[in-house]
Structure 1
């Protein structure tokens, strides 16, 4: 059926695909929400500072 080098190649392929899959899951589950939350927080702070600056000028 398979020779030994083909078997090792198949295992290497499965390992690389599995690592890629779990990396994608990690990025979607942790990194993307962290990035979005940080950007929204910074946007909120900038708008709050702009509102305070307008109140001081008025």
Structure 2
């Protein structure tokens, strides 16, 4: 499962991006979560790719 870390602030983001971060389980800068590798989660990661980093394991 990929590990996703929020590296940038969500200030100035659209409501859609804020909802996506919340759905992924990210709460603050530096917070890391593991996400199942599904087409839906890949789409969510793509939507907020400028705010996160993804580590494939």
Q: Is the shorter-chain TM-score for this pair beyond 0.5, marking a shared fold?
A: no
- Structure that is richer in strand per residue: 2
Higher relative contact order (CA 8 A, sep 6+): 2
Q: Structure 2 length as normaliser, TM-score?
A: 0.22
